[in-house]
Chain A
């Protein structure tokens, strides 16, 4: 379960959220809509503990997000955003490095699984030998999604992931995620295609927010 309880946050004199409360059960879906600058990304970052609320509480997987559990709770979530900055070097070296992190070592790196996912997402297996800096924004984003799928996270935070893609890819990604029944999905998007899914939606306005 993900929950925001009476969350208030402002940056300088701009109030982003005022007493915002929202709850998503495990395996549930939530769509966040709103104009750019309304705080969609900030809301997702708050769930990851990258931004802290001025007042109110954030719960992830039923636990109140705090200094002593934030590092553990982050490992239940996968965050993919619109403009990914992944780094430099070969794609496969990057993926392998992720699997060498202490927290991920128990997950086995399987090349065949990576290639299958690359193909699912319409990237050839040749992508593994490419340089991260040579990938387009859309390709980078799909690589980022694949990495999170390999790590098998429970909660997906998808920040405008489809906005830079063409229609066919949009549909493919939306289908892929909506078929993951046991995962919790929190999606921020302008895209009509997500809005057509009938997910519970909150709308963030420029002055506070409403559900």
Chain B
């Protein structure tokens, strides 16, 4: 199959032309989005162009160390944006959540590259940077959901937690139901999503590969493998991020520290 034709800058502008519709709606119905829409679309364009330039060099040099370093930078940003979108304090959570991503996504990335794809050089840019980015980007949302759900439930259902403690539960036993519910909340959307994949949506990676000229059969196999990898990576990341933070989140009396939340 031949690769997709390039899109000229002029024709790309036509894509921006599409924005007229949401902009008009936003303007006439006073949705209050006009400014934000411009900024967001602008950021998206700028970031992706920069990423494109960066990818050109990462692919050209294809240095394993550089590739891994770039994935770590992406993890850093993933973690940062997870924090911004939650009410949790940076000081308490940044490092443990980063570590959780590092272990969860890192292990799955190695597994994907070595066991599933079995490419000669598993640290090559197209595997590390591209697959790493997919894993991180897709597990980000669930990790935020999971960790926020956990701490906000303990805060909101404080009486339930304290009741369990008063019934003789040790801390792990009193936290177990919250852990269960947080994992459920994080995993549930993805499980539902998996069931409709291919019917309701053609996933991004597959679309990309096919546009890039790959055989649909290969693209589908990659897609199946990446979906399973993303799911496992996010499960590990959520579980570990709760596990890594839980110890320091409570005082010696078993009470959740108030300083965990941003005001």
Taking Cβ atoms with an 8 Å cutoff, the residues of A that contact B are 45, 48-50, 52, 67, 70-71, 74-75, 77-79, 81, 83-88, 98, 101-104, 144, 147-148, 151
Contact = CB atoms under 8 A, between A and B. Distances in A.
A78 B252 CA distance: 20
Contacts of B173: 101-102
Given A49-B253, A87-B164, A98-B167, 14 more contacts: A50-B253, A52-B253, A70-B252, A71-B170, A77-B166, A84-B163, A85-B158, A86-B160, A88-B177, A98-B169, A101-B173, A102-B173, A104-B168, A151-B168
Given A50-B255, A67-B252, A102-B173, A78 B160 contact: no
Contacts, number: 64
B168 A103 contact: yes
Contact of B167 (A70, A71, A88, A148): A148
B263 interface: no
Contact of B159 (A70, A78, A84, A147): A84
* SS of B interface (majority): helix
Contacts of B252: 67, 70
A75 B168 contact: yes
Nearest to B180: A88
A50 B162 contact: yes
Interface string B85-117: 000000000000000000000000000000000
Contacts of A84: 159, 163
A25 to B, nearest CB: 22
A160 to B, nearest CB: 13
B211 interface: no
A70 B253 CA distance: 7
Contact of A87 (B158, B168, B177): B177
B165 interface: yes
17 contacts: A49-B253, A52-B253, A67-B253, A74-B168, A81-B163, A83-B159, A84-B159, A85-B158, A85-B163, A86-B160, A87-B164, A98-B167, A98-B169, A101-B173, A147-B167, A148-B167, A151-B167
B157 interface: yes
A85 B167 contact: no
